[in-house]
Every structure is written in structure tokens, then in C-alpha cells.
Chains A and B, each alone.
Chain A
Amino acid sequence: MEKGSAMSLIIDKPAAPARQVPAKAAKRPAKRSGTPYAFLAPAMILFTLFLAAPIFYAGYLSLRKVQVSGLGLGAKSRTEVWAGLSNYARSLTDPDFLPSVLRVGAYGLIVVPTMLGLALLMALLLDAARTRESISKFARISIFLPYAVPAVVASLLWGFLYLPRVSPITDLFEAVGITAPNLLSSDLTLWAVANIAIWGGTGFNMIVIYTALRAVPTSLYESARIDGASDFTIAWRIKIPIVMPSLVMTFVFSLIATLQVFAEPMTLRPLANTISTTWTPLMKVYRDAFTRNDIYAAAATSVIIALATFIVSFGFLKLVGRRAFNQED
């Protein structure tokens, strides 16, 4: 069903049904105007309680701090006071903060293009009719499978595969007489973490792109093929432009996930010397909140990360000029 609307784009018909709704709905009698609010109520109440309230609370906490007096061992020696913007100042001037931001930037540069590139390639291969059905089905399920593996478990599995002494990769290298690289050494850790994300995310993005490709009527390719276009040309000139909206959306969602990388490095951290407690900004939040018991600093860093995420993802959407995120014209 959802394929329908993508198709309407491709054959360049205006997406008629969806467009007519507002006009008609607006004409409906005023007495029924409460209905949409009623439908929205459960979502909005839960949203307020479990998303909005915690966010505002985090914002409040980011402006507070604990003040201890003396040795701090008496029962009531701890008081919470206003901190102004000092938590933000400390967060931004923390020498570990900028490196962790840059690291996540580099991580994103590795993960997003590689993952989406692989997803697009696999989707195009699946879509190419001449790939045998059984292999296509096997590949589709296999590549999608990692999506079912929670990031914590995935990192644990890959951790085993990375550690030189227990890794089959090392055995493989040694079998051909090369010293295996230590995947958790300082040069390669970033790639090792990126690999887990790519492994986990490629299948999902592949399905999204594949769904978009399948919605294209084959007649479109037939005529191109009669004109003598090669598979490569068809993919480049016809298929990729058609799935561009899907690519944009997968890009945005991948970007968001990338900026929030946490579970993978967190799980790998005890296995190696090369992942510090502030390896990514969210790990710093975790360290401040749970290891250092300073939820105020953690809240300030959280607010900074949330703002940065908004700016980057909305900025990107603005840049590509899509209205994907906004239903109003």
C-alpha cells in the first residue's frame, strides 16, 4: 500500500488523495473539531510525560549543581543550588569533549557513506532481475538478519572476532603468513566500531531502498533497454534518481543514529586500552551521570548534543531542499 504513493511520484502524477484531505477536512462541521485532538490525546499525554517532561527536566538540571560543605560527610552537607551556565562552560571546555566530537565526526564520515553505499549496491543487485530468485532471497534475509541482533549483543560478538588471541581473522591472516593487524589498536579502533554499525545497519537501509526500487514499473527499464542502455546506465540514470528520496531519508536517519553512537564503543571499552570513557559525547554523558555521579554536568552535555543533532539534521534537510520532514507545503 505504501508503495502506491511512491509510484505516484514516479509516474509524475500528483499524489492526489493525500492532497485533497486538508481542503475537505477543513469544511467539516465545527462541532466535530475535537476529534483529531481525541485521537492525538494518548500520544500527546505519553509524549509529554516521557519525552517532553524529561527533556525539560534535563534542561532544568543542567542549570543546577550540588554544593557540598566541608568534608561532605555529614548527613545534610549536600545542597542543590543554581549553577547558571557553569555546567555548559565546563562541558565545552573539557579537554576530552572536542576530541570526542571530532571522533564522532570521523566515525560518521566512515559509517554513513559506507553503509548507504553498500545498502544501495545490494538493493540494486537484488533488483537486477537476472539474479536468481533463491540466491536473491537468501541474500536479502542474510543481510537483513543483523538488524535483529541488539547492538549490545552484536558488539559482544564482534568483540570476540576482533581480539587477536581469540579471533578467526587472526588465524586467517597467519594462515597466509601475514601478521594480523590488531583491530583494537589505536589506529583501527574507529574502524572496528564503525564496522559493527555498518554490519547492523546495512540490511535495514537496503530494504528501504529495495522497497522503493520495486515500486518502479519495469516498463520504464524496458524502453531504456531497447534504446541500448546498459545495466549500469539504467542504474545510474534511472534507478538511483528514483530512489533519491529514500536515500535522503535513510541518510538523515543514519546520521542521527551515528551522532548517537554509544552501545558499541561502550560494550567494547573493557576489551581494549584504546576506547576511553569519553570516546564519544554520549559516553561522556554516561560517565558524568553514572560514574562521576554528576547528573548536572551530564544534563548540560545532553542538551548540547540534542541541540547539535537538531541543527545537523534539520540543516541537512534544508540543504537538500526536501520537505520530507514537513507535511505542510
Chain B
Amino acid sequence: MTTMTAKKQNRSTLATTLLILGAAYCLLPVLWVLIASSKSAGELFSTFTLAPSTHLWDNIVDLNNYRDGLYWRWMANTALYAGVGAAVSTLISAMAGFALAKFEFRGKSFVFNVILAGVLVPGVILAIPQYLLLAKVGMTNTYWAVLLPSFISPYGIYLARIFAAAAVPTEILEASRIDGAGDWRTFARVVLPMMRTGLVTVFLFQFVAVWNNFMLPYIMLGDDKLYPITVGLNGLLNQGANQPAMYTSVVTGALLSIIPLIALFLALQRYWQVDLAAGGVKA
């Protein structure tokens, strides 16, 4: 019995060690950015990489002073693109997912397959034709140029269909109909609340996708007051040969830009239970 406990103990230690190693690997660059953003421009390239310094606040002030606080505008823009884009996209995905999961209609499998095919298309390929088409209606270099394409997420629709199929019992829909509620009323009052958990996941997915998207705003926007954070930071880094790259500002900016996402993740942690396969295993 004692040997067995010892063995268990060992295994537990091994498991814990492995998990901590994994966590350390994932935290290393984050730790680095934290340390690096505390260094002055000179120290960043001369002192030992993992030795912290005391200039974090100076760096934040520098970043804040860059072209009258443009950085904060980028943060606000990012929040707008990701927040509004993801919210609208979630609603549209919920409606489409609900229709695909709970109704039978002509062309259903065609629509679903087309949407799935949409999941596979890389953004880089879409960016140029999207630009050319939006330019024809004069919408490039506006907030809409980034927002509108963010409203549609084939992946979000795919997930919403899974969630609707799993979370909304048909009986309740029938009951609601018998009570005389219209389809829209049923959707708003019954379906949306039932899909809530899943929809938060869809929201988070799309939020991260928009937040991470570089190519679309990079192509669409000519005015740097409209930039999201990724494009803005990239600009600080690549200013052309006759301008020095602003490494300390980029590093500090990168650190600050991660914080809101981490906060969002921690706050919505319990929703991160993604069951990708649920839709695919019923047969």
C-alpha cells in the first residue's frame, strides 16, 4: 500500500512538473515583454535580457506622448473593431446558426456547405478583392471598411449551429409557438437566453479573430488615426530606412495591448469550454 502511495505521489509530482514546464514555456515571452518594457532604450539592447529596470513609467509616458496620445486612439479603435464587430457578428451567427439547426428548408445543406467552405478561406486572399470592392463604394479608409467584413464569421455560424442544436430543445420551441409567440419573439425571448453560454464563446472567438487581424486594416486604412493596435505597432517598427524603429515604444505598447485581452479572458473564463466536436458526433 505504501509503495503504491509513493508511486502515486511520484506521478503526481511528474504531472505537476510537466504542467509547470508548459506554463513556463508559455509565460516566457510574456515575462520577457514585461521586463523589456521596464528598460530604457539604451538598456534594452545592452543589459542582460532578463534583468528588469525601472523605466516602465517613462516608457509609458513616451508612448503616451507619441503624436498626442495616438496609441490610446489605437487601443480605442481596436476595442471598437473587436467589440462591435464581434457583437454584431455573434448576433448574426446566432440567427443563422438557429435557422440551420432548428429549421428544415430547401437549400439548407447547400447554405451550410458554402459557409463551411468560407471557414477555409484565408484572410490574406480576401483582403485585396475586398479592398477593390469597398473602394468602388468609397468606403475604404473608414471605420466601416474594417467593421463590415468583421460582421460575417463563417466559423461563428458553424459554432452557433452546434450550440443551437445542443442547447435549444425543440419541445420548447413548439411550446412557445403554441403560446402564439412569433418566430422573432421566440428567438429573442427563448432561444438567445438558452444559447447564451455558447454565444459568449462565439463572441470571444470573433473578438480574438478581429483583434488579431492584421491584413484587413493594414490594407483598408490610410489614416493612422483609424488604425487598430496591431497595424499601429507595426508602423512604429517599420518606419522606413531613414527613421529609427521605436523599439521601447513597441515593446511597451505590446505589453499594454495584451492586458485588456487577458482581463477579458479571466473575466469570461468559465465560457471557455469549447466543444468543437459536438456537432460532428451525433451520427
Listed in ascending order, the chain A residues whose CB lies under 8 Å from chain B are 1-6, 8-9, 14-15, 17-22, 24-26, 32-33, 35-40, 42-44, 46-47, 49-55, 57-58, 61, 118, 121-122, 125-126, 128, 130-132, 135-136, 138-139, 141-154, 156-158, 160-161, 166-168, 171, 199, 202-204, 207-208, 211-212, 214-215, 231, 245-246, 248-250, 253, 256, 260, 262-263, 270, 282, 285-286, 289, 295, 298-299, 302, 305-306, 309-310, 313, 322-329
Contact = CB atoms under 8 A, between A and B. Distances in A.
Contact of B212 (A128, A150, A202, A295): A150
B256 to A, nearest CB: 11
B119 to A, nearest CB: 7
A310 B32 contact: no
B28 interface: yes
30 contacts: A5-B275, A6-B277, A17-B166, A24-B174, A26-B104, A35-B183, A39-B187, A42-B92, A47-B114, A47-B154, A55-B125, A135-B19, A136-B19, A139-B23, A144-B265, A152-B212, A152-B233, A156-B250, A157-B33, A161-B32, A166-B49, A171-B49, A207-B274, A208-B275, A215-B275, A282-B124, A282-B125, A295-B128, A302-B124, A309-B120
B23 A142 contact: yes
Given A130-B12, A214-B273, A324-B277, A39 B95 contact: yes
B214 A263 contact: yes
Contact of A2 (B8, B30, B166): B166
Contacts of A143: 22-23, 26
B130 interface: yes
B276 A208 contact: yes
B190 to A, nearest CB: 14
A33 B170 CA distance: 17
B112 interface: yes
- Most chain A C-beta atoms within 10 Å of own C-beta, residue among B162, B165, B229: B165
A24 B272 CA distance: 32
Given A246-B276, A285-B125, A147 B208 contact: yes
Contact of B262 (A25, A148, A212, A326): A148
Secondary structure call for the B interface: helix
A153 B212 CA distance: 9
A153 B15 contact: no
Given A152-B234, A153-B254, A328-B109, A306 B115 contact: no
Nearest to A132: B16
B237 to A, nearest CB: 7
A139 B19 contact: yes
Contacts of A53: 129, 133
A305 B125 CA distance: 9
Contacts of A20: 170
Interface string B108-120: 1101111111111
B227 interface: no
Interface in B236-283: 237-238, 250, 254, 257-258, 261-262, 265-266, 269, 272-283
Interface in B113-156: 113-122, 124-126, 128-130, 132-133, 148-149, 151-152, 154
Given A22-B104, A139-B23, A161 B109 contact: no
B93 interface: yes
Interface in B9-45: 11-12, 15-16, 18-20, 22-30, 32-33, 36, 45
Contacts of B152: 43, 46-47, 50-51
A33 B105 CA distance: 7
A254 B186 CA distance: 37
A263 B265 CA distance: 23
B211 interface: yes
Contact of B98 (A39, A139, A295, A309): A39
B230 A156 contact: no
A57 B132 contact: yes
B226 interface: no
B30 A131 contact: no
B105 A231 contact: no
A25 B128 contact: no
A207 B173 CA distance: 31
Contacts of B262: 145, 148
Contact of A1 (B25, B151, B166): B166
Contacts of A327: 100, 109, 112, 161, 165, 279
Q: Top 10 nearest A-B pairs by Cβ distance? A: A324-B280, A245-B277, A54-B129, A142-B23, A39-B99, A36-B103, A43-B96, A46-B152, A168-B49, A148-B261
B266 A148 contact: no
Given A15-B281, A21-B104, 18 more contacts: A2-B278, A6-B281, A17-B165, A17-B170, A37-B105, A40-B96, A43-B115, A50-B130, A54-B126, A54-B129, A57-B132, A128-B15, A143-B22, A148-B208, A168-B49, A171-B48, A211-B273, A245-B277
B132 to A, nearest CB: 7
Contact of B237 (A9, A47, A58, A156): A156
Contacts of B149: 50
A114 to B, nearest CB: 12
